[in-house]
């Protein structure tokens, strides 16, 4: 049941995640993937219109300067998870998972496959950056597939035609293949469209191994980790680390629909896990 008005905004953040999961449904052919627009509801289409038009090079630099210095105070990881959980939509509570449930489902799926504790923890924290919404950021600056700004847009990005409305598309120095970057300079030097990935990477980077940092920072960078785009900006280390980004992705995409996590039963495990890697409070 959808409450969306034609061309209305996405009502819930999850609509983007659901759209991504539909696009990459297991076993879907490349041709079916190309028809993804048919799967997008008007809210999702409108979302990408705004995202592609407004994520300019300048915008990204400005948001990074505003958030990545972590000047919004100290809070524990669990407090932030509970804060994020207040982002509950008004639609059917029986079918939609809360934010904490999505984090726990992702983490539990990783845990069941016997992966290391830092990997499970990466699953638990991967979407905490969505608290940007609670700071007042619009959805198009929080979620959505990410892509480099300051260089040519890849045709592998969803709805590439919407970039025509981005002012950067008229700036020649931003539209050559490598744009403002050196070939194979490494993704750390490349500015991606701003969103929850970049923010949670900065919040957690001091406490998690490199593999986890890549998972968090690039989990929405579908043009690269699903489609192999932008290899001309990646270095050998990125290529190696993207194996971990790809290892993480199915847990994010396909853990939905598994049984609802029993919060009371698994809470002690997650409290211990958080305490093992993070101090009581960290900078946000
Ligand atoms: Fe995410
Ligand atoms: Fe997620």
pLDDT, position 29: 73
pLDDT, position 88: 65
Average pLDDT over residues 185-214: 98
Higher-confidence position of 259 and 227: 227
Ligand nearest to the CA of 215: 1
Percent of the chain past pLDDT 90, that is, above it, reads 76
Task: Evaluate if residue 268 carries a pLDDT over 50.
Answer: yes
CA of 170 to the centre of ligand 2 (A): 33
Decide: 105 and 59 in contact? Cβ < 8 Å: no
Average pLDDT over residues 259-272: 93
CA of 71 to the centre of ligand 1 (A): 22
Percent of the chain past pLDDT 70, that is, above it, reads 92
**How far is 98 from 102, CA to CA, in rounded Å?**
6
Ligand nearest to the CA of 252: 2
Task: Evaluate if residue 186 carries a pLDDT over 90.
Answer: yes
CA of 72 to the centre of ligand 2 (A): 23
Q: What digits encode the pLDDT tens for the residues 59-80?
A: 999 999 999 999 999 999 999 9
Q: What digits encode the pLDDT tens for the residues 10-57?
A: 667 788 988 898 888 777 777 777 777 777 888 899 999 999 999 999
The residue behind tokens 């500015």 is: 191
Q: What digits encode the pLDDT tens for the residues 217-239?
A: 999 999 999 999 999 999 999 99
The alpha carbon of residue 54 and the mean position of all alpha carbons in its chain are separated, in whole angstroms, by: 17
CA of 172 to the centre of ligand 1 (A): 31
CA of 84 to the centre of ligand 2 (A): 13
Mean model confidence pLDDT for the chain:
91
pLDDT, position 89: 53
Ligand nearest to the CA of 123: 2
CA of 258 to the centre of ligand 2 (A): 14
Task: Evaluate if residue 2 carries a pLDDT over 50.
Answer: no
CA of 124 to the centre of ligand 2 (A): 9
Average pLDDT over residues 172-189: 98
pLDDT, position 259: 77
CA of 35 to the centre of ligand 1 (A): 23
Higher-confidence position of 170 and 260: 170
In terms of phi and psi (left: phi > 0; alpha: psi -120 to 50; beta: otherwise), the region of 53 is alpha
Ligand nearest to the CA of 250: 2
Ligand nearest to the CA of 102: 2
Q: What is the pTM of this model?
A: 0.93
Contacts of 24 (CB under 8 A, 6+ apart): 33, 222, 226, 253
Q: By C-alpha distance, which of 68, 57, 43 is closest to 197?
A: 68
Task: Evaluate if residue 139 carries a pLDDT over 70.
Answer: yes
CA of 218 to the centre of ligand 2 (A): 12
Residue 282's H or E segment, with its range, is: strand 282-283
pLDDT, position 135: 96
Decide: 16 and 44 in contact? Cβ < 8 Å: yes
The residue behind tokens 């194996």 is: 243
CB atoms within 10 A of CB 33: 15
Average pLDDT over residues 81-106: 78
CA of 223 to the centre of ligand 1 (A): 15
CA of 103 to the centre of ligand 2 (A): 7
pLDDT, position 87: 81
The residue behind tokens 């896990």 is: 273
CA of 140 to the centre of ligand 1 (A): 13
DSSP-derived 3-state class of residue 187: helix
Q: By C-alpha distance, which of 43, 53, 100 is closest to 266?
A: 100
CA of 220 to the centre of ligand 1 (A): 6
Task: Evaluate if residue 257 carries a pLDDT over 90.
Answer: no
Ligand nearest to the CA of 218: 1
Backbone angles phi, psi at 148, to 5 degrees: -65, 145
pLDDT, position 113: 97
Higher-confidence position of 172 and 41: 172
Higher-confidence position of 205 and 41: 205
Ligand nearest to the CA of 255: 2
């Amino acid at each position: 049941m959808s409450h969306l008005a034609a061309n209305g905004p996405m009502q819930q953040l999850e609509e983007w995640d659901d759209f991504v999961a539909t696009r990459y449904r297991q076993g879907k052919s490349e041709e079916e993937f190309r028809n993804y627009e048919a799967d997008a509801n008007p809210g999702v289409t409108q979302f990408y219109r705004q995202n592609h038009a407004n994520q300019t090079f300048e915008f990204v630099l400005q948001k990074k300067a505003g958030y990545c210095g972590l000047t919004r105070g100290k809070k524990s990881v669990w407090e932030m998870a509970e804060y994020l959980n207040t982002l509950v939509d008004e639609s059917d509570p029986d079918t939609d998972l809360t934010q904490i449930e999505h984090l726990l489902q992702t983490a539990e799926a990783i845990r069941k496959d016997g992966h290391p504790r830092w990997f499970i923890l990466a699953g638990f924290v991967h979407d905490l950056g969505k608290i940007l919404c609670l700071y007042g950021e619009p959805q198009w600056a929080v979620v959505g597939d990410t892509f480099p700004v300051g260089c040519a847009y890849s045709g592998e990005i969803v709805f590439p035609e919407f970039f025509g409305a981005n002012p950067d598309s008229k700036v020649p120095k931003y539209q050559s293949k490598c744009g403002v970057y050196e070939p194979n300079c490494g993704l750390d030097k490349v500015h991606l469209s701003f969103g929850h990935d970049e923010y949670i990477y900065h919040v957690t980077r001091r406490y998690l191994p490199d593999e986890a940092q890549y998972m968090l920072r690039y989990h929405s960078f579908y043009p690269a980790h699903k489609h192999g785009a932008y290899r001309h900006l990646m270095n050998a280390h990125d290529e190696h680390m993207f194996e971990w980004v790809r290892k993480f992705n199915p847990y994010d995409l396909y853990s939905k629909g598994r049984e609802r996590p029993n919060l009371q039963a698994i809470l002690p495990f997650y409290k211990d896990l958080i305490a093992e890697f993070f101090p009581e409070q960290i900078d946000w």
